[in-house]
Structure 1
Amino acid sequence: MEFGLLGEHLAHSFSPAIHRQLGDYDYQLVELSPEQVGPFLRQGQFRGLNVTIPYKKTAMRFCDQLSPAAQRIGSVNTIIKGPDGTLYGDNTDYDGFLYLLRSAGAQIRGKKALVLGSGGASLTVHAVLSDLGVRQAVGISRKGPDNYENLERNQDAELIVNATPVGMYPNVEASPVDLAQFPHCGQVFDLIYNPSRTRFLLDGARRGMLWANGLGMLVAQAKTAAERFLGQTIQDSRVAEITACIERQTLNLLLIGMPGCGKTTIGQALARRLGRPLEDIDQHIVANSGCSIPEIFSWEGEESFRSREHQALCQLAKQSGKVIACGGGIVTKRENWDPIRQNSTVIYLRRDLELLPTDGRPVSQFHSLEELYRQRAPLYSQLADLTVDNQGTVEETADEIIRRLEL
């Protein structure tokens, strides 16, 4: 192995995809239990490593020499093995978090910040915030003087950084704090990048706050690590290019629109063209319930169907890289909005009402299409990242989506 990522649970890491674009070298995932870390660092065959949670502090103990950044921060996320086998520990997370803040347009100087977490990543956050002139940075941990039980002591915080794994896939329903407790907060940043928008960030976005996830940080720190690995400079512009590329590859394509507008048909075409799996929420409900959608409406009522629909959406939409076809009424339940947005590019398929079929569609049979459209069209538009008219052929519409999203 030339290079790799050392951690405990790495199945959903984006790092291999990022390093493939940074350099032509072998990069592997190295999942180890805590007792395996030391022997691997001392005896393993590698040229360089990145280190992620929970081993950023652990790895530091096995390094023979530390960079000034690693010494100051107190954690290591990049290790280079010398010709004599000695280990040099560095911290490129500093570069990554600095990029995250600058690319988001964050305003740090003179502000009061809360840093959620006490692990290796939080140490980096504190160092960057200090260098950017933060007025005060308070660390919040489960224990200690400032903790999650006395957050009211810091309700005057103006920006919050989540440096914990709370809200990370697959536990996407969790959030480290309730932003309603912080009336002066205007900026929220999350080091998590999967899902793209954690519940913490979605809450911030709803409140009109400046926000950013950790994907740009991940790519920026990887770029600096790759420079260390290769001993050569990589253009700064590659960070934004690779970040955008990873987003395009990993975000789901989630289709919404009126019943019969072509979500499943277009979804099938996109899945085939892009080599992605297709998930149809209605079909998922049918497979799990053992009965058809009209039967569920007839036997259990619409509210029961909506509950099943919400559960299916939450299960499917938190995954990555899929095409997801939603039912026409999914936008009518506010509880669905966060799952719809959390890890997907939302595509609204528009089709003329006279072209929409109603056979076999329970809601369309009991309400006029005009009434449904009047209720739902504003919701489709509000949730959509992209609106596409589906008036031509299936391939024409699929082409338009692929072209506009640069897939």
Structure 2
Amino acid sequence: MRCGLLGEKLGHSYSPALHALFGDYDYELFEVSPDRLGDFLRVRDFQGLNVTIPYKTTMLAICDDLTETAATIGSVNTVLKQLDGSLLGDNTDAAGFEGMVWKSRIRILGRKCLVLGSGGASLSAQYVLRKLGAGEVVVISRTGENNYDNLDRHQDAAVIVNATPVGMYPNTAASPVDLRQFPHCEGVLDLIYNPARTALLQQAETLGIPHLGGLYMLAEQARCAAQLFTGEVIPAIRTQEAYRTLRSRMENRILVGMPGCGKSTVGRALAAQLDRPFVDTDAELEKVLHMPVGEYITHYGEEAFRKEETALLAQLGKSSGLVIATGGGCVTRPENYPHLHQNGAIFFLERALSKLPKKGRPLSLKGSLEDMYTIRLPMYRRFADITVANDGPAEKVAQKLEEAYEHFSD
């Protein structure tokens, strides 16, 4: 059975890996430009499709039949080729978003909800919010009565839903709104799943607002689509299992800690255990700088080095499924935190000061190592999700890191 995801630009889609967890069928990425869409659909060389930007409303008119849900919402994200070759359009985004709301525990009943964006995903979100008893649902678009220039009208909004691509990979620094404009906000839902923590979600985290990204929605809508593709009932518990599995696979493991604490050694061991790529940021910087890190710092100073380091972390942080060992001083620049946090679980690897080497480390030689540790310790703790002691063989410490991650991600 041939199934897949239809869209114009698919990039780093998680859908093939996700559908492999739900059924034994081929799942491909069909990246089709608007001028080729007609030809693709005429051939109909597929049994089932998921549909993403920009075709969710386009497919509404193309499908031969629609389910009641798709017709009511006005958006199609799942297409099934029936026995006679006709296309049935359905919408599993609604079930996915509803699952996301319940997962987040954000209250909708009676609340004023702002939905950012007016496309197909927005239509599904609006449908669910009204179904769950939202007091008011306001759609914010670039033009029209409610737009980004008059958000001050809606300072009383309790729930913000981002149904736009703003903040999606690779433009991860962008955010559709500033949450400080909404002093009564009780919850933020971002339908984007790559990165795991968009700039909007990271601001919600900073402000202490409950929030959730779109990976759970992706998993639940995929389970519902897989049921249509296979004709089999897939228990709802499988969504949670798939969500945890995919999150674990895609989330970077990032090590921070003092120079010489063993980040590279333990990181390589962890990468080997997880069968994923390992990146040592100092080694990568030496390729960019065309000289050893210590030599660059000696010639150009620490500030120049930190700027180069931040530029590298901004790129690496967008990646998924890496083990990254950072330089000991990356925590001295607060702007590095969102770069690392957007797709990563951050580990502080602690090691006794007496075991930290100084040779070949110019910043460790500049002054007291104890003073450096005293200054940086609160920085490591601010960055870290998990703290693990490097007090044994690298393989065992790496295993301890991953066990700690499993508890953290529950």
Residue 187 of structure 1: how far off its partner (Å): 0.8
CA distance in structure 1 between the aligned counterparts of 2:14 and 2:235, rounded to whole angstroms = 20
CA distance in structure 1 between the aligned counterparts of 2:88 and 2:42, rounded to whole angstroms = 12
Who is 1:377 aligned against? 377
TM-score, structure 1 length as denominator?
A: 0.98
CA distance in structure 1 between the aligned counterparts of 2:98 and 2:37, rounded to whole angstroms = 28
1:125 is aligned with what amino acid? A
TM-score, structure 2 length as denominator?
A: 0.97
Q: Does 1:81 align with 2:81?
A: yes
Residue 336 of structure 1: how far off its partner (Å): 1.0
CA distance in structure 2 between the aligned counterparts of 1:4 and 1:193, rounded to whole angstroms = 18
2:208 is aligned with what amino acid? G
CA distance in structure 1 between the aligned counterparts of 2:42 and 2:34, rounded to whole angstroms = 14
Who is 1:214 aligned against? 214
Who is 1:102 aligned against? 102
Q: Does 1:40 align with 2:40?
A: yes
CA distance in structure 1 between the aligned counterparts of 2:367 and 2:101, rounded to whole angstroms = 49
Residue 359 of structure 1: how far off its partner (Å): 1.4
2:343 is aligned with what amino acid? N
Pairing 1:273-288 to 2, within 5 Å after superposition: 273-288=273-288
1:345 is aligned with what amino acid? A
1:185 is aligned with what amino acid? C
Per-residue CA deviation, residues 352-400 of structure 1 (Å, 9 max, x unaligned), is: 1100011121221113222122122222223222221111111111122
Work out whether residues 216 and 243 of structure 1, in 8 Å CA contact, stay in contact via their aligned partners in 2.
yes
Work out whether residues 3 and 47 of structure 2, in 8 Å CA contact, stay in contact via their aligned partners in 1.
yes
Q: Which runs of 5+ in 1 are unaligned?
A: none
Who is 1:315 aligned against? 315
Who is 1:355 aligned against? 355
Greater shift in the superposed pair: 249-258 or 152-161: 152-161
1:251 is aligned with what amino acid? E
Who is 1:233 aligned against? 233
CA distance in structure 2 between the aligned counterparts of 1:399 and 1:65, rounded to whole angstroms = 52
2:327 is aligned with what amino acid? G
Who is 2:127 aligned against? 127
CA distance in structure 2 between the aligned counterparts of 1:383 and 1:263, rounded to whole angstroms = 15
Who is 2:15 aligned against? 15
Work out whether residues 106 and 186 of structure 2, in 8 Å CA contact, stay in contact via their aligned partners in 1.
no
CA distance in structure 2 between the aligned counterparts of 1:40 and 1:293, rounded to whole angstroms = 52
Work out whether residues 317 and 324 of structure 1, in 8 Å CA contact, stay in contact via their aligned partners in 2.
no
Residue 48 of structure 1: how far off its partner (Å): 0.8
1:361 is aligned with what amino acid? R
Greater shift in the superposed pair: 83-92 or 146-155: 146-155
Pairing 1:229-378 to 2, within 5 Å after superposition: 229-378=229-378
Work out whether residues 314 and 339 of structure 2, in 8 Å CA contact, stay in contact via their aligned partners in 1.
yes
Residue 92 of structure 1: how far off its partner (Å): 0.4
1:14 is aligned with what amino acid? Y
Per-residue CA deviation, residues 265-293 of structure 1 (Å, 9 max, x unaligned), is: 11111222222111111112111111221
The alignment-based identity, stated in percent, is: 50
1:380 is aligned with what amino acid? Y
CA distance in structure 1 between the aligned counterparts of 2:304 and 2:159, rounded to whole angstroms = 40
Who is 1:176 aligned against? 176
Residue 39 of structure 1: how far off its partner (Å): 2.5
1:209 is aligned with what amino acid? I
CA distance in structure 2 between the aligned counterparts of 1:207 and 1:371, rounded to whole angstroms = 32
Residue 84 of structure 1: how far off its partner (Å): 0.7
CA distance in structure 2 between the aligned counterparts of 1:343 and 1:116, rounded to whole angstroms = 23
Q: Which runs of 5+ in 2 are unaligned?
A: none
1:400 is aligned with what amino acid? K
Residue 60 of structure 1: how far off its partner (Å): 1.4
Q: SS of 1:37's equivalent?
A: helix
Q: SS of 1:334's equivalent?
A: coil
Q: SS of 1:114's equivalent?
A: strand
Work out whether residues 115 and 163 of structure 1, in 8 Å CA contact, stay in contact via their aligned partners in 2.
yes
Per-residue CA deviation, residues 178-232 of structure 1 (Å, 9 max, x unaligned), is: 1121111121110001110000000011000000000000000000111111112
Work out whether residues 37 and 59 of structure 1, in 8 Å CA contact, stay in contact via their aligned partners in 2.
no
Q: SS of 2:335's equivalent?
A: helix
Q: SS of 2:9's equivalent?
A: coil
